[in-house]
Amino acid sequence: MTFLILGCGWVGEAFAHAVKACGHTVIVTTTNPAKQERFIAAGFTVLCVDFDTSIDISVFPEQVDYILNSIPATKQLGQEVLSHRFNQVVRVLEKVTYKQQIFLSSVGVYPDESGLYTEESAVDETSNLRYAEQRMQVCPRTTVYRLGGLFGQERIFAKYFQNRVCVTGGQPANFVHQEDVLALLQLGFQAQLQYSVYNITAPEHPLKKEVILKSARRYGFSLPSSFTDEASFQKVVSGERIISELKYTFIYKSPLDF
């Protein structure tokens, strides 16, 4: 099988290695020359494509089996850049024939307010994330994975709070480990998923303060200088839908285990 990975970032690169190890062909896009060399050395076909410019559609294959789309829609992007970026992605998806696309979004699409959030909950319709989801859902056979905070390998939560004031320690952690994301991507491409949107979060949601303290002890990082509760809304994002549908058992059930 052939996988096309649009915007090959941290998750995309790990996924590319995983499916190539299974004997599949991998085509990736990047704008980073250093990544280009690394990807070529790994045996991937590399397309140097910047979706913020006018792209050459002819460099893309006519047909692949699956598309992993991780083109970012960060909140810093202005509307003009955001619109152009995803219009270019749509052009690619209109050219390439594929069986299924998984688009990586984020649980940040839900408002930062207390509550239990499922895929049926209201989202921030004005957000860049929601705009990107809607543009991609115009394309056929598209499933959206809304990822929780991503950790694993060198990404350790405590690292980012060393000797700093932590104002979010009272919030529940809506996190997910990279290994579980990779497993759910592979299963998602193999299955005929019933829904168009899935939350991808670990089943357990300890407080962020607990995660920081435990990972700092485990990996030897300095503690925050202090914890405050300035932003302690109780937002919990449930990933039960995909767990139930795929009968999936998380490798890392709790961020305390990351």
Residue-wise pLDDT for 121-142, tens only, equals 999 999 999 999 999 999 999 9
- pLDDT tier for residue 32 given thresholds of 50, 70 and 90: confident
**Tell me, what amino acid is at 141?**
R
Residue-wise pLDDT for 148-172, tens only, equals 999 999 999 999 999 999 999 999 9
Average pLDDT of span 185-210: 97
Average pLDDT of span 205-219: 98
Residue-wise pLDDT for 16-31, tens only, equals 999 999 999 999 999 9
Average pLDDT of span 184-200: 97
Q: Which residues contact 83 (CB under 8 A, 6 or more apart)?
A: 131
Q: Which residues contact 43 (CB under 8 A, 6 or more apart)?
A: 20, 26
In this prediction the pTM is 0.96
Token pair, residue 20, equals 């190539």
Cα 182 to Cα 140: distance, rounded to the nearest angstrom = 23
Q: Name the residue among 128, 137, 184 with its Cα closest to residue 11.
A: 184
Q: Angle at Cα 82 formed by Cα 5 and Cα 97, nearest 5°?
A: 35
Cα 256 to Cα 76: distance, rounded to the nearest angstrom = 30
- pLDDT tier for residue 33 given thresholds of 50, 70 and 90: confident
